[in-house]
């Protein structure tokens, strides 16, 4: 998993996402990162977390848990969104 930190409306938001699950989605109002958002924190409190994932796959998906994150600025986050939407 990876982490993205940014300021949004003067709130620090930390989103943990999994780039190996190639779905740029998350809780309502959040998304656009290069992977599925699995946990979201605002001002240090958890406001969303995925407790279970169910996949209907014909082949086994091997997702390795990663512990390093990447801090991005608001401008970098906007560029990530723009790249993903193109």
Kindly state the average pLDDT of the residues 2-30.
Answer: 74
Q: Which helix (H) or strand (E) holds 28?
A: none
Do the Cβ atoms of 65 and 56 come closer than 8 Å?
A: no
Rounded to 5 degrees, φ, ψ at 83 are: -60, -40
Looking at residues 33-51, what average pLDDT do you find? Answer: 83
How many degrees, rounded to 5, is the angle at CA 29 between CA 51 and CA 35? 55
Q: What is the pLDDT of residue 1?
A: 54
Q: What is the Cα 41 distance to its own chain's centre?
A: 11
Is-contact 32 81, C-beta < 8 A?
Answer: yes
Q: Give per-residue pLDDT as tens, 57-68.
A: 677 767 777 767
Q: Is the pTM of this model over 0.75?
A: no
Residue 5's pLDDT band (boundaries 50, 70, 90)? low
At residue 83, the pLDDT reads: 85
pLDDT class for 73, splitting at 50, 70, 90?
A: confident
């Amino acid at each position: 998993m990876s982490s993205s930190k940014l300021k949004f409306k003067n709130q620090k938001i930390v989103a943990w996402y999994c780039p190996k699950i190639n779905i740029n989605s998350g809780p309502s109002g959040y998304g656009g990162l290069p992977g599925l958002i699995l946990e979201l924190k605002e001002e240090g409190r958890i406001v969303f977390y995925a407790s279970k994932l169910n996949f209907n796959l014909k082949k086994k998906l091997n997702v390795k848990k990663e512990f390093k994150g990447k801090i991005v600025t608001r401008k970098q986050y906007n560029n990530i969104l723009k790249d993903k939407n193109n």
